[in-house]
Amino acid sequence: MPALASHRKPRTRVRTTAPALGITTAAFASVGLLAQTAGAAPAAPTAPKPTVEEVQKKVDDLYRQAGTATQKYNLAKEKTEQQRKSVDGLLDAVAKRTERLNEARRKLGNYAAAQYRSGSVTPTAALLLADSPQAYFDQNRLMDRMTERQKTDVTDFEQQQAAASQKRAEATRSLETLTESQASLKASKQDVQRKLGEARELLSRLTAEEKARLAELEKKREAEARRKAEAERKRQQEEAQKAESDTETDTATGTGTGTAPGSGTGTAPGSGAGSTDAYAVKAEKVLAFARAQIGKPYVWGAAGPSSYDCSGLTQGAWKAAGVALPRTTWDQVNVGTRVATDNLRPGDLVFFYDDISHVGIYIGGGKMIHAPKPGAYVREESVYYMPIYGSVRPA
């Protein structure tokens, strides 16, 4: 029997294509990224790299600030050393006072023990128990004398106790001051190190070409300072020649015997040949010491003998001439007599910058010997290399 035909309509297969998940996700991500980029604020512009001239100015300023911090360090160190000596002296005094107090306390203790042992015996019983009336009266007079001595010892004890307490209080205050000085010393040291670290960081960022350019700028600066020093040397030479010529003229004409007002041989304070010669002798010793230190490294806070900072060098040089200078530039500038730059003589101290953070020793001809800055060595240099604050003649 033939198979019956199927009356069912064949099912039409509809094929649907689903989008790939990875491509769709990527598309959405791209759209979102574009939207964020369109709505985001523009990136901040990168700061322009400083020029070599700007780096030079910044580094010079940091070295100057480090010089100021070094003087603060020197001052704090000086105060710390002085305070430590004061504390040591006070502690010794406290120990001596305590020993005296203990001795007075032992005497009173002996008296107290003696009174305790004899305190239960009445005067009548003491008379009856005595070997003889005379022995009683002798002992009674002795006790009266002991009572007077006791009063003296009690007074001495009270005085020693008050003195010991005062010394202990002074020592406590001095220790507190020492602690403050030590804290100031530590802060100043950190400040110096921070400034020098910033300067080193700036210099380390320079390329080889920029470093060469910086060296060229430094050479020009030194050349200008030397030019000014040379002009000063010539001026001094011309003045000396003129003075010598005037002297020869006066001698030839028979004038200039020293009778005019203001002349003489040193009778006026700080003037005359005697004063000039005495200062010249000291200055010679100062310059001899300073020249012997040339080539030694600058180290902040150092005062020799293997390294120096600026005020450590000037202090050591004048010490060689028998003159004691204080440690810092701020104190050294107040020693001796102020002199104008045009009147500088070898041995004078020349100070620089408005904050008086640097000092050098004048050697004549517009030049000085000084300990310049970290990384440099004690050397001769023009006084016009830095802005001059003022000058003094220490002795």
| Residues annotated as catalytic (active site), given as ranges | 310, 358, 370
Q: Which residues contact 313 (CB under 8 A, 6 or more apart)?
A: 290, 293, 304, 361, 369, 370, 371, 378
Q: Cis ω on the peptide bond leading into residue 133 (within 30° of 0)?
A: no
Q: Are 375 and 298 in contact (CB under 8 A)?
A: yes
Q: Are 352 and 314 in contact (CB under 8 A)?
A: no
Gap between the Cα atoms of 152 and 111, Å rounded = 12
User: Buried b vs exposed e over 47-79: b needs ≥16 C-beta within 10 Å?
Assistant: eeeeebeebbeebeebbbbbbbbbbbbbbbbbb
The β-bridge relationship of strands 337-339 and 349-352 is unpaired
The β-bridge relationship of strands 367-370 and 337-339 is unpaired
Gap between the Cα atoms of 374 and 310, Å rounded = 11
Neighbours of 381 (CB within 10 A): 19
Gap between the Cα atoms of 330 and 357, Å rounded = 8
Q: What is the DSSP letter of 257?
A: -
Q: What is the DSSP letter of 379?
A: E
Q: What is the layout of strands, in order, in the sheet containing 388-393?
A: 337-339, 388-393, 349-352, 358-364, 367-370, 379-382
